[in-house]
Amino acid sequence: MQTTMHSLVAAFALSALVATPAAAQSHSQSAKQEKATATMNIVETASAAGSFNTLLTAAKAAGLAETLAGKGPFTVFAPTDEAFAALPAGTLDALLKDTEKLKTILLYHVVSGKVTAKDVAGLKSAKTLQGGELKIDTSHGVMINNAMVVKADVMASNGVIHVINKVLLP
């Protein structure tokens, strides 16, 4: 299992280091951006990424933005805007009106502590702030329940973000 995680992490690193000078420069810029991002909290980091607008809107509506900007540390399995767009028609609008249900769903995406890709390799599940358990499967990439981690270890000053391709439902 750990070998699989190391392979996944190596694949992420390798994909960023294509053997061209432009790619090497791009990787250098990406590394600088990631280092700068680590000085921003989770909310600021997600906002700077530009692909979590729906998540941030939902977090604000549910009253969780301040929490996720707080001390932490937190691990957030963050669905992209595309993941939210894939929900059945009307689902997001209904959730934005039902802030308690929205808060429950969002807290299901958050784990207490800073859990990096290296840490995930040794886990079968993780308890969420909502109280439920996320199933972790590293046998074919990294799956959190039915969502694939498409980018791991986006560091923030108060934790880490793992980008996922689906919205998790408790």
Domain extents for the chain?
Answer: 2-164
Per-residue pLDDT band at 78 (split at 50, 70, 90): very high
Q: What class is the 2-164 domain?
A: mainly beta
Which bin fits 53, alpha (ψ -120 to 50), beta or left (φ > 0)? alpha
Mean pLDDT to the nearest integer, 73-87: 97
Q: For 17-69, what is each residue's pLDDT tens digit?
A: 223 333 333 333 444 444 445 789 999 999 999 999 999 999 999 999 999 99
pLDDT confidence of residue 120: 83
List the beta bridge partners of residue 74.
Answer: 112, 159
- Do the beta carbons of residue 161 and residue 68 sit within 8 Å? no
* Higher pLDDT pick, 1 / 43: 43
DSSP 88: P
**93-149 pLDDT, tens per residue?**
999 999 999 999 999 999 999 999 999 878 999 999 999 999 999 998 899 999 999
